[in-house]
Amino acid sequence: MARYALRRLLFVVPTLFGMSILIFAMVRLLPGDVVDAMFTGEAGAAATAKQAIRKALGLTDPLPVQYIRFVGGVATGALGQSLTSGERVSAIMARALPITVELAALAAVTATAAGVPLGVLSAVRPNTAVDLAARVGGLIGLSVPNFWFATLALLATSVFLHWTPPVTWIPPWRDLPANLAQMAIPALAIGVYLMATVMRMTRATMLEVLRQDYIRTALAKGAASRAVLFRHALRNALIPVITVIGFQVGTLIGGATIVEVIFGLPGMGYTLVQAIFARDYTVIEVAALLLALVFVLLNLAVDVLYGLLDPRIEQA
Amino acid sequence: MDHQLTRRELILGAGAVASAGLARATWLGAAPGAAAATAAKRGGRVTWGMTSDPTSVIPFGAVAGSNFEITSLVYESLLRWDRRLNIQPALAESWQIPDNKTYVFKLRRGVKFHSGKELDSGDVKYSLELQKTPPPPGSITSFYPKIAGVTAVDKYTVRVVMAEPDATMLGYLAWGRYSAVIPKGLYDRADLRTHADGTGPFRLEEYVPNDHTRLTRFKDYWRPELPYLDEITMKVLQDEQARLAALRSGAVDGAQLSADTVAGLGGDASLQILKGLTAVFREIEFTIKGTGKPWDNVKVRQAVNAAINRQALIENVYGGDAVYSSKIPPGYGPWPLSQDALKLRWERYDLPRARALMTDAGMAGGFSVTLQSIAHPVDYTQNAEVIKEQLKLININVTVQPLEIGTFARNNGQGNFEWQSTGRGMRGDPSGFIADFDPNSSIYKAWYQGGYDNKELTDLYFEGLHTTDRTKRLQIYRRLQEIVLTEWPALPLVNPMIYFVVRRRLHDMYVAYEATERGLVEAWAE
């Protein structure tokens, strides 16, 4: 198992290397640079002043030099400074990452906690009212865009309850209940899609597993139906579900962006979007690479977990 | 509250923008239904929803306008504007202009910085000198006056000598955007991206980038009656619906909202709508570089102007809440041409005349042109679309190309466009609105060089810069605008209102012309 994990871990390096080239190239292909965005043509800056800023920011160096500076910085942990605010990029990431991770974690936990039982219930009681409600709910969950849900939830609570989540972010280590109250709606908004996916996936795989011979055998041997359901059926049915959750959590982190903007939560997505508008290259590059790293590591974790749940995979 | 100009201040040369602005009172921070009769109360906390992050709270050279929303509450300059852009004393209690290259400022005694240090001439000298080349991430501004030297004559007297006569000095100081006064040596002691030490009514407690800024009342502020509020949290809420929801729930006490959202507020009794003009008038820019384009011909530009129905723009795009704009925008003190002059003469909609001008120019058959517009906010593109329809009538086939701001800005700076639908911004001095025609400016080089020039325009522009006599300046800027509105090297369209929506508990707030929340200095909460 350890060798398998290590082998997979080694693949992370070339993946990230490829990502770094892609991110760097894409960012530089965007028309307009940070200095253009700073001035938006309106501050009456002389072209020479603009050029002086570009030089001071190192933007006049050849692109390969800039790329090596970026990758070198990442390798040595010297991530540089924001081109617009001058703040250290590491400090920006340290502030933004916990927010997005918490948001994604809450969304994933909520989605799993609700989606798996609903899927199981739906599978063991097919074509009942519960099943029908879960399936229709699942379809709605899949179809509703998260920004629509988020905006509607925000407006609905403000109009009917005269309440919206506190506007400035409250770290969980300072006031956990207030933090959870603040994060509940945003987490739900980005978790609804995953909840629906998990529910449908659990239902489909449970239905399939419940038809397997070994389930019939277990029941024929007189095993308690609860034990069959949870020990034999659910454990096997969960393998694809875990894969889906793993992949989706990565997407959640990316998909949290618009919800972060709506709720004014200064997480990774929000920071990245701001940086893109401002063409703040150093922040964009590090933030995008960090998101890529999280995504890759999550996939790795899923693969390892997969191996643990089904030892046959390791040999493959 | 705002001081009225005293006779002495007038004699001393104060009041670059004088009381002629009174006539425009309804445009400048008038709050319909504001309960002026209620006595102001001290205390209370207020949360304000900002539309974008300040990026940093540096005192000098910040390019982001949102930076000034914070620094205008924390820092001050030698002079300040009142609500109507009359120049008032601030850290300088008086000033003299002994000759057209010298300004002498007498500092107010006993003014304290937030750190407790007393303001003296050394701080002013340090600040004025550092503003010329602001430390990073600040950048050099073209608005910096032509200061040759600053002398601290004694503890409370500062003499500023200009390299050449430069009438932009007082406006530069009063605007405050690039002219804060900070304690001597502060840049060596503190990280001013996230920390501050000003003399302003509020002290900076914390700035959390992309999230919020917390300010508290400065108890030793030199105007002892101000401010009323104990604490202000400036929260960044970019999403308009989020600002609206937070306003309705009471999570924020005020925020800027767009005309469309304001129109949908209906009869929400808990909210009050404040509106006012800013200097961000909308304009169509042309590149006239002698490239043989149809609009190199002045008659074609005159035809375009006559074919544009600005009233239709005002009604269709701004719901009626906008006014005609000259090259100096309405609301900017006594400097712009009057609304009547614009409507009846310079910007009169006259389709037959437009057609005749096109025929005279040999362009009766029309031409095709691409009009780039800023994609967001949407009104730039909406303006472009309405104009496209209007210009069809004189056979000009306009293709509207909405662009994301970064791309738009790059094209704008490089002159890489045919026409652009854009918005302009605040200036400390009226000359700033004409500066595009300074042959040395980067804008002139990018848009006009080799194609458009007018000697009278250029000469008058420099004369305006060198003249400190206000009456003469008024004449110069009137004539400058008339030239622009005759030859149309740029085509000012309209100036829309902006809206601050506040909860009823917040009183005496107003929309400042330079689009900051400096009204919070005089506002109070129940």
How many CB pairs (< 8 A) connect A and B?
A: 165
- Residue B259 contacts residue B496 (beta carbons within 8 Å): yes
Pick the most confident of A31-35, A312-316, B150-154, B249-253: B150-154
Chain B residues touching A155 at Cβ < 8 A: 241, 244-245, 248
pLDDT at B23: 33
The reply to whether residue B238 touches residue A264, judged by beta carbons under 8 angstroms, is: yes
Structure letter (DSSP) for residue B26: G
Residues in contact with B24: Cβ distance below 8 Å, sequence separation at least 6, in sequence order: B84, B330, B331
Percent helix, strand, coil in chain B, to 5, is 35, 20, 45
Helix (H) or strand (E) holding B471: helix B470-487
Cα B326 off chain centre by: 14
- Rounded to a whole number of angstroms, the distance from the CA of B139 to the nearest CA of chain A is 7
Rounded CA separation A285/A214 (Å):
51
Phi, psi of B78 (to 5 degrees): -65, -35
| pLDDT recorded at residue B372 | 97
pLDDT in tens, A57-83: 888 888 899 999 888 888 888 888 888
Question: What's the full length of chain B, in residues?
Answer: 526
Q: Identify the band that residue A203 occupies on the pLDDT scale cut at 50, 70 and 90.
A: very high
How high does pLDDT run on average in chain A? 85
Task: Inspect the interface and report whether the beta carbons of B55 and A169 lie closer than 8 Å.
Answer: no
Minimum mean pLDDT among A133-137, A159-163, A283-287, B302-306: which range?
A: A159-163
Whether residues B442 and A39 touch (CB distance < 8 A) is answered with no
Nearest to B193 among A87, A155, A159 (CB): A87
User: B278: left (phi > 0), else alpha (psi -120 to 50), else beta?
Assistant: beta
- Nearest chain A residue to B252, by CA: A167
Q: What is the pLDDT of residue A314?
A: 57
The chain A residue lying nearest B49, using CA atoms, is: A167
Distance CA B9, CA B87 (A): 10
Closest CA of chain B from A62, distance in Å: 20
Which chain A residue is nearest to residue B242, measuring alpha carbons?
A262
Residue ranges in chain B modelled with pLDDT below 70: 1-38
Distance CA B437, CA B456 (A): 11
**pLDDT tens string B350-381:** 999 999 999 999 999 999 999 999 998 889 99
Residues of A in contact with B413 (CB under 8 A): 36, 39, 41, 47, 50
Task: Work out the pLDDT band at A46, boundaries 50, 70, 90.
Answer: low
d(CA B289, CA B449): 6
Mind spelling out the 3-state secondary structure of B190-235?
Answer: CCCCCCCCCCCCEEEEEEECCCEEEEEECCCCCCCCCCCCCEEEEE
Q: Which among A45, A86, A96 has CB closest to B142?
A: A45
- Given an 8 Å threshold on Cβ–Cβ distance, is A43 in contact with B242? no
Residue A25 CB contacts under 8 Å (≥ 6 apart), including other chains: none
DSSP A241-266: HHHHHHHHHHHHHHHHHHHHHHHT--
Residue A260 has which token pair?
Answer: 């972060």
Q: Are B282 and B76 in contact (CB under 8 A)?
A: no
Query: A313 pLDDT band (50/70/90 cuts)?
Result: low
The token pair at B218 is 């400065």
CA distance B33 to B29: 12
Separation of CA B85 from chain center: 11
Question: Side-chain half-sphere of A269: how many Cα atoms within 13 Å?
Answer: 23
**pTM for this structure?**
0.82
Nearest to B328 by CA among B2, B5, B66, B20: B20
* DSSP secondary structure string for all residues of A8-19: HHHHHHHHHHHH
The nearest CA of chain B is from the CA of A230 a distance in Å of: 43
DSSP H or E stretch at residue A38 = helix A34-39
User: Which B residues in the span 444-483 are in contact with A, Cβ-Cβ below 8 Å?
Assistant: 445-446
Q: pLDDT by residue (tens digit) across A253-283?
A: 777 888 888 888 889 988 998 888 888 899 9
Taking the C-alpha atoms of residue A245 and residue A302, their distance in angstroms, rounded to an integer, is 9
Give the residue from B329, B332, B388, B395 showing the smallest Cα distance to B361. Answer: B395
Long-range contacts for A17-24 (Cβ within 8 Å, ≥24 apart)? A17/A71, A19/A288, A19/A289, A19/A292, A20/A67, A20/A70, A20/A71, A20/A74, A20/A285, A20/A289, A21/A67, A23/A284, A23/A285, A23/A288, A23/A289, A23/A292, A24/A66, A24/A67, A24/A70, A24/A285
This model of the complex carries an ipTM of 0.75
> By percentage, how much of chain A surpasses pLDDT 90?
21
Instruction: Enumerate the residues of chain A whose CB falls inside 8 A of the CB of residue B55.
Output: 84-85, 278
Closest Cα of chain A to B308: distance in Å?
A: 24
Contact A36 B49 (CB under 8 A): no
Cis peptide bond upstream of A266, omega within 30? no
Q: What are phi and psi of B89, to 5 degrees?
A: -65, 145
Please tell me what DSSP assigns to residue A77. T
pLDDT interval class at A45 (50, 70, 90): low
Residues of A in contact with B235 (CB under 8 A): 167-168, 264
C-alpha to C-alpha distance for B17 and B470, rounded to whole angstroms: 9
Q: Which residues does chain B have within 8 Å of residue A146's beta carbon, measured at their own beta carbons?
A: none
Between A209 and B21, the more confident residue is A209
CA distance B227 to chain A (A): 23
Cβ(B199)–Cβ(B95) below 8 Å: no
CA atoms within 13 A on the CB side of B426: 21
Closest CA to A295 of A227, A261, A258, A249: A249
Contact assessment for residue B489 and residue B497, using Cβ atoms and an 8 Å cutoff? no
Return the SS3 of A31.
coil
Yes or no, beta carbons of A168 and B233 under 8 Å apart:
yes
* B505 reaches A (C-beta below 8 A): no
Taking CB atoms and an 8 Å limit, are A41 and B413 in contact across chains? Answer: yes
For an interface test with A, the pick among B56, B71, B210, B461 (most A C-beta atoms closer than 10 Å) comes out as B210
Nearest neighbour of A274 by CB, restricted to B53, B63, B235: B53
Closest-CA residue of B relative to A162 is B249
Query: Mutate which of A158, A272, A276 to test chain B, going by most B C-beta atoms within 10 A?
Result: A158
Coil, strand, or helix at residue B64? coil
Are B428 and B167 spatial neighbours (Cβ–Cβ below 8 Å)?
no
Q: CB-based contact (8 Å) between B33 and chain A?
A: no
